[in-house]
């Protein structure tokens, strides 16, 4: 059964954040809050964790997993960006966007989209997820917690604990989660394509 951690939305308790990081470092899978619903996440390179996400969400190999980062400076290590894309992404982070880009060699192969070798990256504007990322010291391999047949991510920590407590190792809840998914911006074919309109304003990319 998952361990359930409730933290303050403005000042998440460091002890609880540290315990969730310990679970990630031990190979665990956690549900954690972001500015666009809850996400499922595990540590980079955790193949079993990714497979557990695939099973929970019933994903195929076309799905783009996302590296959730704490700051813009981390992105250059994991994705290729030309100057125009660099400026556009930087101007709109942190925020409720996921950017699809060609991955670098630093991205675990099992995360890359099978054919195009692309990956999602994002920087949430959310105190609890940023506290978790900062304490971990590296991005979290993630996917929005959208259950099969649903279009919006789960947004209630207690509900996740009840429904998925046997499938994840921890639920981190700060009680301040939007129900809108991220807006997905795809840069991989040389054009700017809006794959999904969500919480982030698509105007800067049109």
pLDDT digits (tens, 9 = 90+) for 8-44: 999 999 999 999 999 999 999 999 999 999 999 999 9
Other beta carbons less than 10 A from residue 85's beta carbon? 16
If we measure between CA atoms, which residue out of 68, 85, 191, 64 comes closest to residue 138? Answer: 68
What's residue 186's pLDDT?
Answer: 97
Superfamily of domain 3-205 in CATH is DHBP synthase (3.90.870.10)
Contact 135, 30 (CB under 8 A): no
What's residue 175's pLDDT?
Answer: 92
Q: What is the helix (H) or strand (E) element at residue 56, kind and residue range?
A: helix 47-57
Backbone angles phi, psi at 50, to 5 degrees: -65, -40
Q: What are the boundaries of each domain within the chain? A: 3-205
Residues of the chain with pLDDT under 50: none
Rounded to a whole number of angstroms, the distance between the first and last alpha carbons of the chain is 45
Residue 22, SS3? Answer: helix
Q: How many residues does the chain have?
A: 206
């Amino acid at each position: 059964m998952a361990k359930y951690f409730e933290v303050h939305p403005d000042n998440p308790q460091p002890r609880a954040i540290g315990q969730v990081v310990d679970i990630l470092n031990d190979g665990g899978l956690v549900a954690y809050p972001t500015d666009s619903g809850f996400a499922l996440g595990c540590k980079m390179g955790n193949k079993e964790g990714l497979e557990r996400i695939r099973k929970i969400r019933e994903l195929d190999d076309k799905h783009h997993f996302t590296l959730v980062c704490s700051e813009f400076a981390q992105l250059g290590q994991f994705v290729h960006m030309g100057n125009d894309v660099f400026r556009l992404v930087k101007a709109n982070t942190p925020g409720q966007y996921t950017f699809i880009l060609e991955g670098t060699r630093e991205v675990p192969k099992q995360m890359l989209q099978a054919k195009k070798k692309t990956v999602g990256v994002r920087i949430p504007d959310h105190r609890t997820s940023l506290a978790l990322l900062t304490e971990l010291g590296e991005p979290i391999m993630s996917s929005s917690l959208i259950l099969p047949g649903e279009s919006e991510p789960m947004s209630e920590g207690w509900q996740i604990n009840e429904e998925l407590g046997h499938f994840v190792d921890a639920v981190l809840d700060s009680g301040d989660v939007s129900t809108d998914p991220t807006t997905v911006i795809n840069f991989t074919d040389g054009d700017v394509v809006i794959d999904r309109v969500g919480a982030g304003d698509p105007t800067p990319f049109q």
